[in-house]
Amino acid sequence: MRTKMREIGVLFTLMGWGLVMPQAVPAWTPTRPVEAVVHTGPGGGSDIFARAIADLLQKEGLVPQRLQVVNKSGGGPTVAMAYLAEKKGQDHTIAFFTGVWVTNPLTRKEAKVTVKDLTPIARLVLEPAMIAVKADSPYKTVKDFIEDAKKRPGQLRQSGGSVTGRDNLTRLVIEKATGAKWTFISFASGRERIANLLGGNVEMMVIEPQEAREHVRAGNLRVIASLTDTRLPSFPDVPTTKEQGINAPLVPQARGVVAPPGISKDIVEYWEGVFDRFAKGASDE
């Protein structure tokens, strides 16, 4: 396995795989490029995750055809889910979901498609997150941010994605636990969220470790808290929110794969086998 597979393997070992399926000779395999749908624009966590997986599946020879990442942003995952539902019975499309695919239809009237309408393939990871500020921010810890938010209710701002996603739910549980109040601003893509933080238009954001790492190395961001039970090995100097006295529940970010409704059992078993082999290969590294 290549070095990149090793890096993904370490990430998945930390997060925990939720798929165990028996291997079998597939009765179906893709015969042309496969659409891999994500609900965010380029540069966000979902986009980065999908492109890394697509690249590795092809490089490691686990899929005989190219996975073409297709960005279908709008209304949280509403547009992407509707697009996938319209592909009913089509055999060369999959999608990478997150927890917002579950919560979004509960709060948006325009969201007519739920995950129950789609075909489940695999839950891949439970992804950790961190709280980041601009490198020259006055906030050295998340407690600093919260104390300022208490002094200026609603004046501080957080960039994020869907209001039903992990970013905003994290804000709500921390607000409830601390009594602080700040404003959540939704952006369509990860690039916009980071750009607004770096541009000083917002003061804080929730970010995945892989997104944060390059910006921390470049001196653009400072990570002030880990939204995990224990410190992340890749950020050993960053304390958890609990270590900083914030007793708020953690909001998990599940990532996985679904397919259009109405596809055959052979197609489901094929993709289950692919991601099982990928998980085992990553874990072996």
Least confident of 22-36, 67-81, 148-162: 22-36
| Residue range 164-200, pLDDT digits in tens | 888 999 999 999 999 999 999 998 777 889 999 999 9
279 and 170, same structural domain? no
Q: How far apart are the first and last CA of the chain?
A: 7
110 and 74, same structural domain? yes
Rounded percentage of the chain residues whose pLDDT exceeds 90: 66
pLDDT at 16: 40
Burial class, 99, CB count within 10 angstroms (exposed 0-12 / middle 13-18 / buried 19+)? buried
Number of domains observed in the structure of the chain: 2
121 and 8, same structural domain? yes
Quote the CA–CA distance of 252 and 53 in Å, as a whole number: 20
191 and 54, same structural domain? no
Kindly report the CATH number assigned to the domain that includes residue 156: 3.40.190.10
Q: If you average pLDDT over residues 258-284, what whole number do you get? A: 88
CB of 150 within 8 A of CB of 233? no
Q: Which of 99-113, 158-172, 196-210 has the highest mean pLDDT?
A: 196-210
Map tokens 């700040």 to a residue.
Answer: 182
* Mean of per-residue pLDDT scores for the chain: 88
Kindly report the CATH number assigned to the domain that includes residue 272: 3.40.190.150
What's the pTM value of the predicted model, to 2 decimals? 0.68
Residue 192: domain span: 130-226
pLDDT at 17: 38
158 and 109, same structural domain? no
Walk across the sheet containing 221-226 and list its strands: 183-186, 157-160, 204-207, 130-134, 221-226
How many helices and strands in the chain, by DSSP H and E? 9, 10
266 and 158, same structural domain? no
Q: If you average pLDDT over residues 241-270, what whole number do you get? A: 94
155 and 109, same structural domain? no
123 and 142, same structural domain? no
* 59: in domain: yes
In this structure, how many other beta carbons lie within 10 angstroms of the beta carbon of residue 230?
A: 10
31 and 117, same structural domain? yes
177 and 262, same structural domain? no
- Kind and range of the H or E element at 144? helix 142-151
* 72: in domain: yes
173 and 218, same structural domain? yes
pLDDT band at 22 (very low <50, low <70, confident <90, very high): very low
pLDDT at 256: 93
pLDDT at 180: 98
70 and 14, same structural domain? yes
| Residue range 118-145, pLDDT digits in tens | 999 998 888 889 999 999 999 999 999 9
pLDDT band at 269 (very low <50, low <70, confident <90, very high): very high
pLDDT band at 11 (very low <50, low <70, confident <90, very high): very low
CB of 149 within 8 A of CB of 245? no
* 80: in domain: yes
